Structure 1
Amino acid sequence: MTKTKGRAEGACPLLHQCRLPLSTRTVSHLADVLRRRLKAIRSRWRILPPGRIAVILLAVLRHDQRLADMAGGNDVSKSTVRRRRDELITLLAAQAPRLDRALQKVAEQGEEVVLIDGTLVPIQRRTGKADRRN
């Protein structure tokens, strides 16, 4: 059995398009973040350029596009899109201020209410007899 990268004759890729209102500044910033990461890890190349990766990942993150849809329309695998998404989230999280510093800044400004959105909090539920309500 041979493996080929080409498509079968008569195969037509199914594309799913969405309108994605993005500023050039947003795409450029994410592409620059990805370029710096590639340079830091001394990666020679990726299948897609950083700008195109940024647009794909923004579609996944902002419009909750399925990974398989975005992968199929861009000739990459679903796992590649997942890895790039996780990598970008890690890179952007590294740029964000730490929670204690952000709260200190809010307190210095005299604010009383802080709304934190999108925070992932790892938890472990107890099971069996150790389980409690709430």
Structure 2
Amino acid sequence: MVVTGFKATRARKLTPAEKEANRVLAAGRAPVERGFAPLKNWRILTKLRTDPARATHLLRALLVLANIEATTGK
């Protein structure tokens, strides 16, 4: 399932509830995007040809390493 935010148009402004829903969605999405940014820079996923289950384990390990790198500042 894909969850997308609400979009305003010139004719229709967002309600306060829709704005709050967009804020909540952005708050949940930000850590994930920050986690994938180092993986994209490392280009480790560009040539990944493996079983999806194995890729999931690899991705989790890489995210842990990226998190350690981000928290230690090295």
| TM-score (norm: length of structure 1) | 0.25
| TM-score (norm: length of structure 2) | 0.38
Higher relative contact order (CA 8 A, sep 6+): 2
Give 1 or 2: higher helix fraction.
Answer: 2
